[in-house]
Amino acid sequence: MTTGPDAVRFRARDLGIEPGIYPPGKHNAITDVHGVLVGHKTVWKDPPAVPTISHRVRSGVTAILPHSGNISQQKVPCAIYLGNAFGKLAGYTQVKELGTLETPILLTSTLNVSKVADALIAHTLRLAGNETADSINPVVGETNDGELSDSRSRPVEEKDVFDALRAARGGLVLEGSVGAGTGTRCLGWKGGIGSASRVLPPKAGGYTVGVLVQTNFGGLLTVNGAPVGRELGRFSYSYELSHEAGSCMIVAATDAPLCSRNLERLAKRAVYGLVRCGSYSSNESGDYAIAFSTAYTMPYTEPVQLLNNVAMSRLFLAIEEATEEAVLNSMLQATTVTGRDDHSSEAIPLVDVIGVCEKYNSLFWHSKVAPWAPTTKEGTIADGGRRLKQLMEHVSSAHISHEVKSRLLAKLNGAIENNSDAGSLTQQGREQQANEALLTCSSKIKMFTNELATEGLITEPYASLFALYANLGEWICQKARAI
């Protein structure tokens, strides 16, 4: 649907944007909570190719499942927090009353809520074990994609819902202009689906908190403290950008054993995470957070040991951080979409984001700022090796010529070998030789940087991304030599 340079997108951490204190899970997504599945169906239609519509459709549906079983028979504890209830969230009152979730959570566009809810009911009634069910509480949230999509045609059909449910998988989550995020806009640019996670330390239980967002709201974009919206001149009520009403749906999962009351408190902090990105929750912004736990299902035959209130604070911090990063991922992964009446929402330019974040020193905080920045020579060298390997992964997967890629990788391999030598020499107490290896490593990185400067060989955003990591590698080498 999108081709050319705009199709090359990266997540926040790929760009060195590392908000918060807690580390992410393996996939940095809601699916890091064991058992959680996510599926999408993008509904993309164009006349006259689709003769039944008169305007372009840019919509879809996203499904979040707490587990792969029959959820109506194995309910999970759940709560919903209303940040600003200008929206159409189906299923709220029963979740509020009983504190349980009995269907997957589906996200879609505003005028499709009832159609999607009906399809979800049909899906649930057909499941084995539900032959006598006569009450289903479908939970369906929405944001309004009417600027880019012919919302009045109500384009999401039953088959689309079934497709999204069948597509639900663990592991990596597709983000950006996909599923329920196909037609959304956020903070002046294209919004969409985003996800992130945080893992608490073992001494705090080692629990995981995962978040998925459907972003469609306005405000003043802040990226890990850097005023990106202000610097790029796009924000609500600015001269260049009309007021954005919009909404945001947040779905949070955790494996921490929580009751519905504390899940509601957790959901509330997810809404706080929107503020860290620049949301001000406008009058017309439907900001909802749905939180569930996978630690146990109901009905249960044995008592469940629940976390008490005191244990919640770490989870509160984790969900705010994950929500912030999920919003950023939704924008950074989104591609430009042109839709109804040629309305277009541009993907945020990654090179400009990198530039503003560099200006305000808000990148690579886990290498530069406490508590994760290493303070020993050995730790600093290890951190440099990790960052160089990340750069190698980016170069290896880049859409650049094989010849250029081979030259870049050769220089990186040399730098990584020198870094490894420096680490070994430091362990042996041979500090002077370690510093010489670090100097050689820095020289190899400069050779890599010089290769990047050859005009036209490497396109954006690759050139800026590679330079970003190379500059960090040199900085770490200098830091390690000074220790």
Active site residues: 247, 285, 287
Radius of gyration (Cα) for the chain, nearest Å?
Answer: 24
Residues in contact with 450: Cβ distance below 8 Å, sequence separation at least 6, in sequence order: none
Residues in contact with 52: Cβ distance below 8 Å, sequence separation at least 6, in sequence order: none
d(CA 293, CA 328): 24
What's the DSSP call for residue 393?
A: H
Residue 183: closest CA among 134, 139, 135, 142: 142
Both tokens of 128, joined, read 């084995």
CA angle 254, 246, 98 (to 5 degrees): 40
Residues in contact with 410: Cβ distance below 8 Å, sequence separation at least 6, in sequence order: none
* Contact (Cβ atoms closer than 8 angstroms) between residue 333 and residue 286: no
Residues in contact with 4: Cβ distance below 8 Å, sequence separation at least 6, in sequence order: none
Both tokens of 17, joined, read 């944007």
CA angle 37, 94, 311 (to 5 degrees): 65
Taking CA atoms, 89 is separated from 137, 158, 196, 235, 287, in Å, by 12, 18, 23, 27, 10
Cβ-in-10-Å burial (0-12, 13-18, 19+) of 15 comes to: buried
| Phi, psi for residue 249 in degrees, rounded to 5 | -100, 130
What three-state secondary structure class fits 38? strand
Residue with tokens 């945001």, as numbered in its chain: 248
Q: Are strands 139-143 and 105-109 parallel, antiparallel or unpaired?
A: parallel
CA 83 from chain centre, in angstroms, equals: 20
Residue 253: closest CA among 167, 181, 322: 322
* Paired strand residues for 338: 344
Q: At what angle do helices 350-359 and 462-482 cross, to 10 degrees?
A: 30
Which amino acid type is present at position 448? F
SS (H, E, C) 160-172: HHHHHHHCCECCC
* Contact (Cβ atoms closer than 8 angstroms) between residue 213 and residue 325: no
Sign of CA dihedral 447, 450, 451, 452: positive
CA angle 28, 34, 37 (to 5 degrees): 75
